[in-house]
Structure 1
Amino acid sequence: MATSARVPPRLSSLPFRGSRAVAEGLLTWTKLRGPTWVRLLPDVYVHRGGHRADDHRMWCEAVALRLPPDAVLASRSAAYLFGADLLTRGDPVTVLLPTTARLRPHPRLSIVRSPAPARDRTRFAGLPVTTALRTAFDLGRLGPRVEALVAVDALLRRRVVELTALRAYAADRPGWPGSSLLREVLTLAEPLSESPMETRLRLLLLDAGLGPLTAQHEVRHGGRFVARVDLAWPTLRIAVEYDGDHHRERAQFRRDVARLNALRSAGWIVLRFTADDVLRRPEATVALVHQALAERRTTMPAR
């Protein structure tokens, strides 16, 4: 009989405590040391079929089994569970740990010691996490500045937290580390921003003095909807868009061409940028936008 047929159903996919499985007669320590099971943390195992080395959710499940009372998953790990993926490959699971609690260090674990009262803790997706409000508060205080804004925008976009509530929450905690950064981030936050790279592009333009600009602006011409653009100067009819990898797909490319032609027919200039433009050629990107704005200001009649 195949080994998989002997796997207890409740242990077939999710991490579990080895000692509990042995105590309940589901496995033996000898079997746990065999090739069917992968040891993730001390006394935490997963079936080899459910093991994905870079699956952050799996690691969150594993770490949650080892958490002492009142400890919770936090920061980017909590944001990931809320649907805002801010992780890079191999990022450790972040845990908010009470000052008196103990947790054995591990390479896949990042421990932050900070007060976490009951009102800042909840359960989401079956796991103990900081509330969305506390998660946004923590990430907005964590530099660098652009990453703090990306994180706050992402959580606002998921609608798990509201900007007014976050501002009020921050105002009640003025002395916390990173509060000055958070205050700046909250003046720049945009709930309509649709992706981390769109946030980075918007901040690049704002820092270059090219604001104010409107996010997710609906373009209408002759009373009819034409398109919704990422960033815009509506009175100048200039749009700036971030093009991710999905724009390279053939069907998406055809839609993009038709959409761009419709915007041009409506009198709009559309500048499109990629990740390389934002991250590796920021000066050239700013220069192109600045040139388009200057040309339009000199050719369009004053209103």
Structure 2
Amino acid sequence: MPFAARVPPRLAFVPFRASAAIADGILTRAMLRGSAWQRLLPDVYVHQDALLAPDHRLWCDAVALLLPPGAAIAGPSAAYLWGVDLLARDAAVSVLLPRAARLRPHPRLSVTRSHLPEGDLTGFAGLPVTTPLRTAFDLGRQAPRAEALVAVDALLHRRIVRLPALRAYADARRRWPGLPLLREVLALAEPLSESPMETRLRLLLLDAGLPPPTPQHDVLDARGRFVGRVDLAWPVLRVAVEYDGDHHRERAHFRQDVARLNALRAAGWIVLRFTADDVLRHRDRTVRLVTAALRERADERNLRALTDPR
């Protein structure tokens, strides 16, 4: 029966530079060729147990070992470290390099070269990362527009950055690439937006020319009692729009939704609910439904105004 490989405690869970481990006498090249160790990047290895549930943080740890001085983890990878997950599955690690720095290309790396002042660079659990402001600034300048707004909304909602501070930061960098897009994103940004799909739904309705909705509106009944909170609302018309994610399909959540929707209906509200399929694939139909509800309520208000003897 073969013996299990000895795993030095300091190398059990995190990536490491093979050359450093060999130089320190912790491992040998022969040991690294065994099945216990997996190569992630050139000269960067990890113990096989760490790959049982690999996440983006593991890859950030690995990439950070190869970064030249003055470089940083940036973009969606930095947002991930700051607590906002905008990443696609198996996304490469986003890295910001000073223009003169060198880093060997790799499929697990997404490299952007840009000016990176010392004030835009900080540390996160030992990793070099762009500051929250620089992270939001960079993501808000990257097309497509909807994804830029999703990123900025998410960072604002988690209070990782504040909108006035981000506006001031952008105003101090007027000549940077992508500023027209960022200004548009900042004009649309909404810290109360609770999910990427909620942001996309709101942007869809705004782009269709509908009046700006009130986000996260608390609905009260005729006696002033709280009925429920809706994602997007036109309170004067008592029309609400909500995005339904997968969690709404859970039995307990579904029952709560039914009771809440019945209470909203009793309070005189029209509530339209949409899924990701509605927002991403049936955009015109979604806009038509919301437009019809708003017009219906506007017509009702006009009729009441004409027939009200007061």
TM-score range (shorter-chain normalised) is: over 0.9
Distance 2:119 2:267 in 1: 51
Aligned position for 2:285 = 284
**What count of residue pairs does the alignment treat as equivalent?**
302
Residues 80-119 of structure 1: pairs in structure 2 closer than 5 A: 80-119=80-119
Distance in 2, Cα, partners of 1:173 & 1:155: 20
Seen in structure 2, the aligned counterparts of structure 1 residues 258 and 2 have a Cα distance that, compared at 3 Å, is farther
Shift of the alpha carbon at 1:54? 5.8
Structure 2: which 5+ runs fail to align? none
- The amino acid of 1:24's aligned partner reads D
User: Could you say what secondary structure the match of 2:176 adopts?
Assistant: coil
Q: Hey, what does 2:56 align to over in structure 1?
A: 56
Q: Which runs of 4+ in 1 moved over 6 A?
A: none
Q: How far did residue 52 of structure 1 move?
A: 5.3
Preserved CA contact (<8 Å) 1:220 1:227? yes
CA–CA distance in 2 between the matches of 1:137 and 1:126?
22
Aligned to 2:265: 264
Q: Match for residue 210 of structure 2?
A: 210
C-alpha contact (below 8 Å) 1:71/1:96 kept by paired residues: yes
1:52–1:58 contact (8 Å) kept in structure 2? no
CA positional deviation for 1:196: 0.3
The equivalent of 1:10 in structure 2 is 10
| Structure 2 partner of 1:39 | 39
Aligned twin of 2:26: 26
Q: TM-score, normalised by structure 2?
A: 0.95
Alignment RMSD (CA, Å): 1.4
Matched residue, 1:220: 220
Show the counterpart of 1:151: 151
Contact persistence 1:54–1:90 (CA under 8 A)? no
Q: What's 2:237 paired with? A: 236
**Amino acid in structure 1 at the alignment position of 2:238:** R
Question: How far apart, CA to CA, are the structure 2 residues paired with 1:173 and 1:288?
Answer: 41
Match of 2:194 in 1: 194
Larger Rg: 2
Runs of 5+ in structure 1 lacking a partner? none
Deviation at 1:126, TM superposition (A): 3.0
Once the two structures are TM-superposed, the CA of residue 69 in structure 1 deviates from its matched residue by 0.6
Percentage of identical aligned residues = 70
Does structure 2 retain, via aligned residues, the 8 Å contact 1:81–1:125? no
Change (3 A) 1:2 1:244: farther
State the shift of 1:223 in Å. Answer: 1.8
